[in-house]
A and B are shown apart, each in its own frame.
Chain A
Amino acid sequence: MAPTPALFISFESLQIFFAGLIELIGFGESFKWLATLLAGISISFLIINVMVMATAFYTWFERRMIARFQVRRGPNRNGPFGMLQPFADVLKLIMKEDTIPDEADKPVFTLAPIALLAPTLMIMIVIPFGTFLPEDAFLSNLNIGILFIVGVTSVNSIAIFMAGWASRNKYAILGSMRGAAMLISYEIPMALGITSVLILSGSLAMTEIVSSQSVWFILVMPMGFFVFMAASTAEMSRTPFDQIEAESELGSGYNTEYSGIKFAVLFLAEFMAPLVTAAVVTTLFLGGSQGFDFLPGGIWFALKMFIIIFVLLWFRSTWPRLRIDQIMGFAWKTLFGLGLFNIFLVALEFSLADQFGGLASDSVSLTPEYMLIIGAINWIITIAIILIMANVVGRKKYTRPEPTPSPLANMGIKES
């Protein structure tokens, strides 16, 4: 990919700009830290605003799409096609009274929405968006990018537990207990899915992972994609894994006691998660900003993100909520095993390919031919596993229990 000049919104260019500005005003060398600080503040301001606006339109899009999937219309009153609905929602929430329960743990109660929103936003700083946006990443091209993501997302479970525990509400506590159990369980399949990517890419940096995908990893290891996708759907607690909120059982789970602007922030974090997850999945499995040359890389990235978001919406509008024991069983009995098996498989194939001299010139990733061979083997194995599981597990069909005989039958009376 030809190195195109980054637009003005990268961290480095802003740093240079502010350094020049400070020079111009006449401060000396000792104020260089100020340039870094100002650049950081402006880039964070930019990320927050872009993400909030994107989330606002995403909520509109989600509601419209799910309505179409379920033969409804969705919001269509405010503005053209109801596009001003998210702004009306937020305005309503801001104008409402911000209540805190008497028994609540007030500092924790106040901090929880922020603790939920911040990690979601922090993931965006390491995503490489491609040439249309800054070349590497918004803020920093960390060389441990994916590890940063795993570390930061695990704060979510604490935030949800904070929200539920501080509310002093039985529904909130139940929801957050389920949330803690579920989110911690699904961290493991997610990490396993990521590990199999790392074996093939040979690097933790997001840009390296993208550039090593001479064949997209979804084609190379469909099983890893499935494990990661299922685990991240659970991580952001969307249907069919939305036991944390469970409107029909728990009021609305951990955010039962929230109102006003705090609820708006919780809502924002919850709807920002699909965007972020789609960005991560695109980077890890769909080749990031790779694409054909007639469009810039950022557009390809956005298109792939859109496809992932669409699939998530499709799942959400179709499948019902699983029970908590089914969710935990799925994590530990199915995804955990599949993830481990996938790692074993990929590692075996990688070392065999290494034996046959399949390493590319950078000596950490494989050449495309070997990737395709591995992909063919993995697809065959995945389909075989699906068929085996479907036919072995599917044998156990639910049999309806025998109906209890009517008491009239004993007395020799025929029921009409």
Chain B
Amino acid sequence: MIQFFHVYKTYPGDVQALVDLTLEIDKGEFVFLTGPSGAGKSTLLRMVFCAERPTRGQLLVGGRNVARLAANAVPYLRRNIGVVFQDFKLLQRRTVEENVALALEVLGAPRREVRRRTYAVLKQVGLAHKIHQYPPRLSGGEQQRVAVARALVNEPQILLADEPTGNLDHERSSEIMNLLEAASARGTTIVVATHDLRLLERGQRVIRLDAGRLAA
């Protein structure tokens, strides 16, 4: 599903974020990406959803070469990728429903379909009763569940999560991980970048990065 072939990413000032990275993540696999700060975890994720391009090497996402993808093709690739961030990135002046529905609206889904699927995914993450609330009135754990719902609502092939539990206590973190594992069980490829060593004990594959390289 995701294949890196000798990928390099160098930022201005000769800052090397990824160095000769080669790795493969299979369809439906659940992978933790770990390593110290600056190891290149976020850069790797940003490359998968095309916020960054490789400086060198090839990156295939769902069989498409991201390094050569035309700018106007990027939105269509992203529709198959859900992304969850540590700081949730919810629109504060939109309701929970509107935040989640956005991912379906960009697809041009009919309004009735949007409402039905939005409600279904919010029910799945246990927030159907807060559908008309605004994010500032929700707890951190609830906001992250809304972010997960937004990432999952259009049933993406890949879900990327960058420190999704970084702002949550252990109990809330477990809730989020349970949601991600449930999505994985339905066939979604999950990649979670994390510092949280407790999460790594859940038994999934762990990829360690250090200074932009795969660590042993």
| Chains A and B form a bound pair | no
